[in-house]
Amino acid sequence: MEDTFRWTLVTAIAPIAWGTNYFVTHEYLPAGHPLYGALFRALPAGLLLLALARQLPHGVWWWRSLVLGICNMGAFFALIYLASQLLPVSLASTIMSAAPFTMALFAWGLLAERPTVLVLTGATAGIAGVVLLLGAGAAAVDLRGVAASAAALTMSSFGYVLAKKWGRASIASTTSWQLIAGGLVLIPFAVLVEGAPPHLDLPAVAGFTYVGLVATALAFTAWFAGLRRLPAATVGLIGLLNPVTGVLLGVLWSGDVLTARQGLGLALVFLGIAVSQVPSWRHGHDRGRRAARRGRDQHRVLCAQRQTDDLA
């Protein structure tokens, strides 16, 4: 139970950092360059992690890094940037909030992690909370943005579960390989579609530094660490802390007022995350009881052996 709680907290670092990324991107990063924005986010962070991990891909990890880099980093970052330009943030975030269900489906098919009733209940409560929290409406819906969000949701959910399935090398190494592969794939598309890179003033450099270090390198390392130790559906539900962070930042930083409806939404998100943890906590408790029972059985065997030796 303690391990589950600890890894839940570690995993939560990622969506909280991603939630701050919305504010930094909107306030400090150049608009109209989604491909370069994704490139500047992925490649420097990947090179930094590679310098720390000091391990290059080997064997099958060359092509695995490319697949995961496209799904989780390169294409995902670009699609998220595109969706944020074409849709209101509330609608884009609401579409992405379906991640607990999509990750649960992929995990069921690829990992045989059958979603429990409690996990599905928690996911339903969490998504309902996001809808109440953000109040996404149907006005000014751009179908291209909806398609971009849906593609980002599908690709990232598939990629995250694949990363869990293939997770054998160190987390820092595999995260760096994914980021570098995703960044390298973006380079030709950024040059062909957007031309010359945008001019970066000092605030933009500071913004990309924060996005690269905190919202990418640190966040994805924590995310993949959680994926390795928690059920994929549970990790997807923890990801709903992303829009929660964005709303709370608006309250604390911009002076937004938290409405009663949003308060209920926050409560539902946290309730959904808590409910999804019950199977893991129960599993940890049962595992602890089995270990204690094995210890008692071994103690009885040792005592019996000593008694036999004494009689001999």
Locate 2 and state its tokens. Answer: 């303690």
3-state helix, strand, coil in the chain (%, to 5): 85, 0, 15
State the average pLDDT for the chain: 83
Between CA 244 and CA 237 the distance in angstroms is 12
Q: Please list the ranges in the chain whose pLDDT falls under 50.
A: 281-292, 299, 301, 311
Locate 224 and state its tokens. Answer: 């993949």
Locate 155 and state its tokens. Answer: 């690709």
**Crossing angle (nearest 10°) for helices 75-86 and 171-194:** 50
CA-to-CA separations, 13 to 10, 64, 281, in angstroms, rounded: 6, 25, 20
Residues 102-145 have pLDDT tens digits of 999 999 999 998 888 888 888 888 888 888 877 755 556 778 88
Residues 260-284 have pLDDT tens digits of 888 898 899 889 888 877 655 444 4
On whether the CB atoms of residues 166 and 57 are closer than 8 A, the answer is no
Between CA 24 and CA 14 the distance in angstroms is 15
Q: Is 227 helix (H, G, I), strand (E, B) or coil?
A: helix
Q: Any idea how long the chain is?
A: 312
| SS3 letters across 265-305 | HHHHHHHHHHHHHHHHHHHHHHHHHHHHHHHHHHHHHHHHH
Between CA 258 and CA 248 the distance in angstroms is 8
Residue 210 has what pLDDT?
94
- Which alpha helices (H) appear in 54-142, and where do they start and end? 61-69, 75-86, 89-96, 99-111, 117-134
- Angle formed at CA 133 by CA 103 and CA 153, multiple of 5 degrees: 25
On whether the CB atoms of residues 230 and 278 are closer than 8 A, the answer is no
- Among 46, 40, 41, 37, smallest CA distance to 82 is for 37
Residue 52 has what pLDDT?
94
Whole-structure pTM value: 0.81
On whether the CB atoms of residues 232 and 111 are closer than 8 A, the answer is yes
Residue 308 has what pLDDT?
53
Residue 129 has what pLDDT?
87
Q: What is the DSSP letter of 222?
A: H
On whether the CB atoms of residues 179 and 43 are closer than 8 A, the answer is yes
Between CA 86 and CA 247 the distance in angstroms is 20
Residue 286 has what pLDDT?
44
